[in-house]
Amino acid sequence: MSILCVGSVALDSVETPFGKAERVLGGSAVFFSAAATIFSPVRIVGVVGKDYPFADLDFLAGRGADLAGIERRDGESFFWAGRYHYDLNSRDTLETRLGVFADFEPRIPEAFRSSRYVFLGNIDPTLQHQVLDQVEAPEVVACDTMNYWIEGQRKELVSLLERVNVLLVNDAEARQLADEPNLLKASRWIRERGPEMVVVKKGEHGAILFADNWVFFAPGYPLEVVFDPTGAGDAFAGGFMGYLARRASLAPDDLRRAMIYGSVMGSYAVEDFSINRFRSLDGADVADRVDEFREMTAFETRVDGAPHG
């Protein structure tokens, strides 16, 4: 089942303590699709300038991504440059040039409007509303956002929550949006405004799914090699939504598995710069890492000597 993904298609220059990469593929739609196409086809809507190396997206098309919704305009593509600190949890933005993205207004191709699964990447909530106005009858809408929109477009973002099934945010964003330091209370505040589920991403420490009367925690996959955390959250979303679209289900067991697949895809994103790790990745690789997750987290609930045993 195809997923409609609307977000940024960008070029990044990234420096970490472990290396650097200049003008490589980036953007929320690109990282999401690199992960999600392992499971399900993706229809991408975005905009790039004349400088964008469009042929570098061919491997996504070969894995089932439909690129017909990416507009190519005169001008410069969205560009971001950043430097990560040694712990990779904090970074400095060195440069941001919006280019053609500054005037981006999503135009959903007619063939994309029947998409049942929709992922709204981290863009202006007003544009996210415009996307949903053009989609016919989506069954599952997942949305990402960030502190910039929470501060500057709060009214539009809160109204968007009424149209969303899943909100994906990091822990600081969840607390900021709800004005509540406790994540459980913050997730309840958010769900009361529309989404049935809130996924709180905690970077290397995993992610938490808050739903109605139940919670599921997916740990972060322990890695020896970490090069670049850029796009890991979007890759998580790609694994999460890709698995749900493949299963065509929101049953609790499928949601729990989707969280694990999201964590797995996020772990692949950080193992190399840009989306390079996904180029040679296949379903067998992902299945092996999911099996490792199972081994790391499985335990018996009742054993001799336990207080309740």
305 falls within a domain: no
Beta strand 91-97 with 42-48 is unpaired
308 falls within a domain: no
79 falls within a domain: yes
Q: What is the pLDDT of residue 61?
A: 95
Query: Lowest mean pLDDT: which of 88-97, 244-253, 288-297?
Result: 88-97
Q: Give the separation between CA 199 and CA 258, rounded to whole angstroms.
A: 11
**Residue with structure tokens 């053609």?**
100
Residues of the domain holding 72: 3-296
303 falls within a domain: no
Q: How many CB atoms lie within 10 A of CB 111?
A: 12
Domain CATH code at residue 154: 3.40.1190.20
In tens, the pLDDT along 165-188 reads: 999 999 999 999 999 999 999 999
Q: Give the separation between CA 70 and CA 46, rounded to whole angstroms.
A: 5
Q: What is the pLDDT of residue 21?
A: 95
Predicted TM-score (pTM) of the model is 0.94
301 falls within a domain: no
Q: What is the pLDDT of residue 90?
A: 79
- Asked if residue 297 has pLDDT above 90, the reply is no
Q: Give the separation between CA 106 and CA 133, rounded to whole angstroms.
A: 11
Q: Name the band, by pLDDT with cuts 50, 70 and 90, for residue 55.
A: very high
Residues 6+ away with beta carbon under 8 Å from 243: 39, 254, 257, 258, 261, 262
220 falls within a domain: yes
Sign of CA dihedral 189, 142, 234, 79: negative
149 falls within a domain: yes
Output phi, psi for 47, to 5 deg: -145, 140
Residues 6+ away with beta carbon under 8 Å from 87: none
Q: What is the pLDDT of residue 305?
A: 62
Structurally, the chain folds into a number of domains equal to 1
**Residue with structure tokens 């799914």?**
209
110 falls within a domain: yes
Closest CA to 288 of 296, 99, 219, 113: 296
Output phi, psi for 176, to 5 deg: -65, -45
C-alpha neighbours within 13 Å on the C-beta side of residue 2: 18
